[in-house]
Structure 1
Amino acid sequence: REVAAAEGVVEVAERVVAGSVRLLSSTSASLWLQDAATGDLARLAGHPDEPGDEPRIVAIPAKHLEPWLDRTEPYFVEAGDYAAIAAPPENTSGRFAVAPFAVAGRWGVIAAAIPSASLFADRELELLGGLAQQTKLALQSAVGYETLERTFLATVEALAGALEANDEYTSAHARWITDFALKVGAELGLDAKVLKRLELGALFHDIGKIGISSTILLKPGPLTPQERGVIETHPLLGERILKPIEQLEEVRKIVRSCHERWDGEGYPDRLSGNEIPIEARIVFACDAFHAMTTDRPYRPALSVLKARRRLEEASGSQFDPAVVDALLRVLDDPSA
């Protein structure tokens, strides 16, 4: 059940390895999948693993792999066979139980170390074989999910290109805000899923400006109240532009809300405090800082020092105080 619930290929691999160790009381286990481009085996996950381990690539030509992996049942690999198949190095003194499988035209294998003091019975091999079949199905689903995600990202890039074509400043502004918003989010300890939403929300926070005339966007003088009203429609336009993309449902809320103020005096919904999504609060502060420190047709840039002071002065009214504090810490970091 845990394996079937995983979405990405690496997440599937990690759950399979954990299941192998738990089911078989193995001292170590690993999952390998053939690289579609090179034919090499890539170690996707293993136990035990050092934190931050990268997938290990094993350069074995496919013709050498076939005798070992083109099988339908799990089997044992003896210590003397390791050199021939470049087996995982976690347990080079004992035996491995190996369960090969095929998915999307590629070979994969689950390898579980057998402690020298124990014997694997047919039951254990059956369990490993069953796990291999679950792995195959889960990886098929994960590969499909990742293909869908790549299609989605291509759509995202196309939208970003449309934004750049409309207003070069807006595009560069969005890239800067995206970079700093992620740093602020990390400083606040947001988890990976929230950071992904934050990244996309920051990238598209001004996408609605595609629907605003450049004569208003690039006007060198002050805006009239009517023109200001037009500008303030861009969060709603942005939400509408992103609506057809199902994967951006949560991101649309950020785009709609990233001009809301902490004190409730923003637009379009006059949300306040924690009613505003945290991602939108971060984008709003980063947006304001970058706008203040960038030359625009209607005014020169402020110094970084003056922009910092304005952030501090507006903390608790215009901006979330915690976000301002985090942004200032990021700005103080020499590596930022």
Structure 2
Amino acid sequence: MRPALFWLTPALLLCACTPILSGPVSALPDVTATLTIPDPEHLRVVVMGDQGTGTEVQKRVAAAMETVCAAQGCDLGVGLGDNFYPAGPKQATSPLFKTRFADVYSPLKIPFLMVAGNHDQSGIFGGDGTDARGAEAEVAYSKLNPQWVMPGRTYRATLQPGPGGTLAEFFAMDTSPLAAYLPGLRADEWPGGPWDAAQRAWLTQSMQGSPARWKLVLGHHPLFSNAKHGDAGTYDGLPFAFQRGDAVHALYGLACGKADLLLSGHDHALQVFAPQPECPGTWTAVSGAAGKTEGGKVGHRPAAAGFYGQPGFLWLDVTPQTLTLQTYTVAADGVPVLAATQDIRKTVN
């Protein structure tokens, strides 16, 4: 159900439809994390999203992730946002960081690249995406716990080069201000405003300058989804551009044909899409079922894999020639089930 506060007042909504564009655009800092793995020519990544419920489901999926990592290996984790429900803390010292992350995922003994979701940036009500202080608290927490890698709201993480060069680089985006359910508390971060323009410029420049063989973009909101929220630009069937994710669609559009894979959460499902006509050359995947599940399939976009109403996660195996994407659902007894496998291949230079 949509929160009643979607429809606060016509004046408030009209204000949100007209972003402030005046003034110079300040460039975002190019914040970078460098990752070292045992074999720079082979990367294994476990990918979760929307996990921060503190429920039995979150703990069951975390234990299943640990099982897969023990069997197949994991060098790195990715957390795709909504790290806390119903709302994220505003201070890095909040005990929620311990109970919803450290206690649950420290047994995996790998670092996690984290991005913030709309629930993490709650302001007036849980999930409204209006208060960036939640994301800033998560950035601050990365200085307290090295397992939580988030040096900025927008950042890139690159593998240390090996004999064949840099195997992979990750580009982490903050999409929550671009699809908030109410106008954000910071007008300069509204869609179409200076912060939006700066993040787009950063993504374009960072991807152009990347020598990595595989480029992966991370963001909370999906570009494509057949689940409840739907595709960027049509989220939840909402009428206003700032709510329905027009700016998210435009941001991801900059990566189409340049990134190999775009990973997101937000919808509590597991989905994999081959390159679409609207985004040629780039695979997309949704991993938003690591803490809760809801609803079934709504959209009709052709998908390489789609699982709804089941908790789970993704696992990636990356070599210079192939990125293998495995989808795992997690049964009620906690056993991970390999539900789908997809190989994405690169031509050897």
Regarding TM over 0.5, the answer is no
* More strand, by proportion: 2
- Where relative contact order (Cα < 8 A, 6+ residues apart) is larger, the structure is 2
Q: Larger % of helix: which?
A: 1
Which one has a bigger Cα radius of gyration?
1
